[in-house]
Structure 1
């Protein structure tokens, strides 16, 4: 595609060059990472299809794929497994969500060492599980006691991890004080001006909280996380929490940008006070219990989401399926069910479909096969775009140092 450079470069304009270079390099590594890094391109390329337009509107996360599920500590102090990325959230036909999940299975098959038949079997698992969960009409959730297979393995690993061990991964302990580990992999240094601005913001935020001392800043760094959002203004903040050294907490502060899905959706959207308010409100509606410290805030006169830091390690290790397809089927089944439960849970809010409409849609049998066929078309488009991207990347079209010069 001759326009691949223009589209991707235009979308990423204004991002932190150091982290953006990391994103571009990662996207070169595989079609699946490319898919994760180009949600905007996926929906721009998504073919108009009756199967999508006929689906009832719901609150979607917008960037549904195999890596956007993980565990997190909720504001009730319990740990859940759920969808955890709502940057692209908007009101859209429900199958916009599912077609991206199915496409991620097909595109990710090479990385996961899946045969074509196995990848298609997982797609059938996803649509069947999603339809059944909608038809049942009751929202549920996944926690340690209800998890199975690789999701249960994740919970078991987290149960054996202490707060000190969690902190040790991200910080350096000197005596009784911790500082962030600035290793170029999870974090990058901040300048004095950035540090002062974040500190001032957190002090103002803390003043409005019941326990201001909890948010006393110990250190700040630029956070490296995700793929699609790499380069967006984002910080990891080490705060006093419940006391040094092992009661400290890690906070994530990330700029909220407009949803890249919304321009490609015909469903009218409500007016939001800020982009962060959109992200936070949809996350609160869709998750059974909200992530800890979740707030929509204003920093540097821009919109940001403040929340507890969720380590990238707190995701299911999909590569550990060990050639046993039922292990992957159980994970995909959980992801599809979680999506359906989120749509039911947020039903009837600001023009989203009510439960009766979603139950009726789940009972229909006419959309499953056309959706899988559409996902195979999307797979072809993604693969073609990735090949074009690789050619452009290899000839230096995404070399930020050269572009700067």
Structure 2
């Protein structure tokens, strides 16, 4: 097995083999999907560069790319568009976030059918929007009334969605009760042992909530979602909610693993009570309004994040840019601004930079072009690693790994 294949296999050791095999197959599809599935490799390969290391330390999501933004319902019952994945969150130089976002634009150009010139134009859009948002110094947010372009299209589509329709897509009615669709696409069957463990956990969790009956389990399955986290212990849970069958709710219970970014940053990290506390706390700091129903919990003596799955969750269909570059520019502009706003909003917490430092950094002009150049180096590395991965995958290396894991 090649060094690259061994690195990837070692990182994924211990994951659920069925979902891990799905991850490996997806990563074979394109360099962009490979980038999404190998956050750990990206930061291990990231050149040690003065431009990056001199940037002010901030709270980053850690896995910034074009597909890690989406809509969600906040704890104030309003819907927002924001960064929505904080599994890799940590304290790091601010440009660690931006270089991964810009690299994802370059690597994703082929999937989006972008020319080289168009991809580079989007990189400049991202860098300009990020620096301007920092320089302005005020954290904003995106909701339906403030959205534009394809993000506004997303909000428009969400307005017509109902909980019943959402449940119909994810469950099947059996008489007057629902059961999860175990279709191999969104969910896989769960063992009797795991079902009993999840049921007992939810019973204990519910006992400490104002309305315990809300959390009564109707069904549970192993959840299939994302790319990088495929194979991590994860469940989709159907609970009674506000009443069967159409008032049921779906919950996501996902193990929180250590950030794969922290081994590659020099910034000292605070001590957290658990990995889930890190994920949840940084998400709450960065988002303008916290996602509804977000909890750091202990399950099977390990750390998990428990949250709701909502009809209002979705991503922008980037492929719908219809050859009109301004449509993509508006989305990338929003993503870069959201990154800056999150950093401003969480500033001054546990040794992250205060607003004055971030404003000063945003006003500097010496890092923008070097950052884009650095992203092109990262792009070349990702493409080379993907080709090596494809050779190893086609040679059967990851079939063996999946069976052993």
Alignment TM-score > 0.5, same fold: yes
Does residue 298 of the first structure (1) align with residue 303 of the second (2)?
no
In the alignment, the residues of structure 1 paired with residue 184 and residue 56 of structure 2 have an alpha-carbon distance, to the nearest angstrom, of: 44
Following superposition, the deviation at residue 174 of structure 1 comes to: 2.2
Tell me the equivalent position of 1:181.
Answer: 181
Q: How does 1:32-181 map to 2 (within 5 A)?
A: 32-181=32-181
Does residue 377 of the first structure (1) align with residue 377 of the second (2)?
yes
Question: Would you say the 8 A contact 1:181–1:187 is kept in 2?
Answer: yes
Note the alpha carbon deviations across 1:281-322, whole angstroms, 9 max, x for none: 000000011111100000000000001125797100000000
Does residue 212 of the first structure (1) align with residue 212 of the second (2)?
yes
Does residue 259 of the first structure (1) align with residue 259 of the second (2)?
yes
In the alignment, the residues of structure 2 paired with residue 322 and residue 304 of structure 1 have an alpha-carbon distance, to the nearest angstrom, of: 40
Question: Would you say the 8 A contact 1:214–1:240 is kept in 2?
Answer: yes
In the alignment, the residues of structure 2 paired with residue 183 and residue 393 of structure 1 have an alpha-carbon distance, to the nearest angstrom, of: 25
Tell me the equivalent position of 1:351.
Answer: 351
In the alignment, the residues of structure 2 paired with residue 233 and residue 47 of structure 1 have an alpha-carbon distance, to the nearest angstrom, of: 32
Q: How does 1:323-342 map to 2 (within 5 A)?
A: 323-342=323-342
What is the SS of the residue equivalent to 1:398? helix
Following superposition, the deviation at residue 400 of structure 1 comes to: 3.6
Note the alpha carbon deviations across 1:321-367, whole angstroms, 9 max, x for none: 00000000000000000000000000000000000000000000111
In the alignment, the residues of structure 1 paired with residue 78 and residue 232 of structure 2 have an alpha-carbon distance, to the nearest angstrom, of: 29
Note the alpha carbon deviations across 1:249-271, whole angstroms, 9 max, x for none: 11000000000000000000000
In the alignment, the residues of structure 1 paired with residue 313 and residue 399 of structure 2 have an alpha-carbon distance, to the nearest angstrom, of: 29
Note the alpha carbon deviations across 1:25-53, whole angstroms, 9 max, x for none: 00000000000000000000000111001
What is the SS of the residue equivalent to 2:88? coil
Question: Would you say the 8 A contact 1:17–1:400 is kept in 2?
Answer: no
Instruction: Please say which of residues 89-98 and 392-401 is displaced more in the overlay.
Output: 392-401
What is the SS of the residue equivalent to 1:298? strand
How has the CA–CA distance of structure 1 residues 29 and 223 changed in structure 2, closer, same or farther, with 3 Å as cutoff?
A: same
Following superposition, the deviation at residue 401 of structure 1 comes to: 7.3
Question: Would you say the 8 A contact 1:225–1:312 is kept in 2?
Answer: no
What is the SS of the residue equivalent to 1:118? helix
How has the CA–CA distance of structure 1 residues 231 and 403 changed in structure 2, closer, same or farther, with 3 Å as cutoff?
A: closer
What is the SS of the residue equivalent to 1:316? coil
In the alignment, the residues of structure 2 paired with residue 380 and residue 349 of structure 1 have an alpha-carbon distance, to the nearest angstrom, of: 35
Q: How does 1:226-305 map to 2 (within 5 A)?
A: 226-305=226-305
In the alignment, the residues of structure 1 paired with residue 404 and residue 235 of structure 2 have an alpha-carbon distance, to the nearest angstrom, of: 24
What is the SS of the residue equivalent to 1:247? coil
What is the SS of the residue equivalent to 2:396? coil
Following superposition, the deviation at residue 2 of structure 1 comes to: 3.9
In the alignment, the residues of structure 2 paired with residue 168 and residue 95 of structure 1 have an alpha-carbon distance, to the nearest angstrom, of: 42
**5+ residue gaps, structure 1:** none
How has the CA–CA distance of structure 1 residues 219 and 89 changed in structure 2, closer, same or farther, with 3 Å as cutoff?
A: same
In the alignment, the residues of structure 2 paired with residue 292 and residue 279 of structure 1 have an alpha-carbon distance, to the nearest angstrom, of: 15
How has the CA–CA distance of structure 1 residues 392 and 310 changed in structure 2, closer, same or farther, with 3 Å as cutoff?
A: farther
In the alignment, the residues of structure 2 paired with residue 230 and residue 308 of structure 1 have an alpha-carbon distance, to the nearest angstrom, of: 18
How has the CA–CA distance of structure 1 residues 209 and 313 changed in structure 2, closer, same or farther, with 3 Å as cutoff?
A: closer
In the alignment, the residues of structure 1 paired with residue 228 and residue 20 of structure 2 have an alpha-carbon distance, to the nearest angstrom, of: 10
* Residues paired across the two proteins, number: 405
Normalising by structure 2, we get a TM-score of 0.98
**5+ residue gaps, structure 2:** none
Note the alpha carbon deviations across 1:349-396, whole angstroms, 9 max, x for none: 000000000000000011100000000000000000000000000000
In the alignment, the residues of structure 2 paired with residue 404 and residue 208 of structure 1 have an alpha-carbon distance, to the nearest angstrom, of: 39
How has the CA–CA distance of structure 1 residues 373 and 333 changed in structure 2, closer, same or farther, with 3 Å as cutoff?
A: same
Following superposition, the deviation at residue 175 of structure 1 comes to: 2.7
How has the CA–CA distance of structure 1 residues 401 and 65 changed in structure 2, closer, same or farther, with 3 Å as cutoff?
A: closer
Does residue 200 of the first structure (1) align with residue 205 of the second (2)?
no
Instruction: Please say which of residues 230-239 and 172-181 is displaced more in the overlay.
Output: 172-181
Does residue 314 of the first structure (1) align with residue 314 of the second (2)?
yes
What is the SS of the residue equivalent to 2:398? coil
Note the alpha carbon deviations across 1:114-169, whole angstroms, 9 max, x for none: 00000000000000000010011001110111111100111111100111011111
In the alignment, the residues of structure 2 paired with residue 340 and residue 281 of structure 1 have an alpha-carbon distance, to the nearest angstrom, of: 18
What is the SS of the residue equivalent to 2:237? strand
